[in-house]
Amino acid sequence: MSTILEIIQRVRSRQAGEQTWLYIAGEPAELTLNTEADLGCPEFDEESDEEIDPSGFAERGLRSTIDLDSFSDCIEWADRLSGTKDDAAALDIIRYYIRFDAWPEILGSPDPPSRDEVLRRLDREFVDKLGLEEVSQNCRRDGCNRGVVKLSVFCRQHHFENVQKRPYPFDD
């Protein structure tokens, strides 16, 4: 039985051998330096074309996460960010990479925003760039008494819906 800490140390000392994937027990968000882990090479079932975990890994609750090259890159990135060989920093980057398939810009980086949060922020930026509605001219949408935004025949809401092809997400 190995731990993430032991595997980090083996990779740092270039003693990982021929293994190609990191397998961990538990959920990536809950990784600690003492989490059970191992390195292994998956096999492929030629009949079903499915990946088969190394013998005994499933029984230990280990599942495939990232390839060894990415694992090593995580350690190197953590060393650059921390300015030293810090195993806790390496764990932080490994955990982030496994969960989000991305490199954090800083140690202790918060989770990236959800897709919905990003879309809402982009929608707000789009709507704000439309500017104020000119009340001297009515929106051309039937039944709308709002004014139009610059360079459009629609109010903010109806311009958004016309361009984005989806409902207006705000209450204003």
Confidence at residue 46, expressed as pLDDT on a 0 to 100 scale: 74
Confidence at residue 64, expressed as pLDDT on a 0 to 100 scale: 86
| 123 and 96 in a common domain | no
Low-confidence ranges of the chain (pLDDT < 50): none
pTM: 0.71
Total domains, the chain = 2
| 150 and 91 in a common domain | no
| 129 and 71 in a common domain | no
- Span 103-133, pLDDT tens digits: 999 999 999 999 999 999 999 999 999 999 9
Containing structural domain, residue 157: 115-164
* Within a domain: 27: yes
Residues forming a β-bridge with 45: 50
Confidence at residue 145, expressed as pLDDT on a 0 to 100 scale: 94
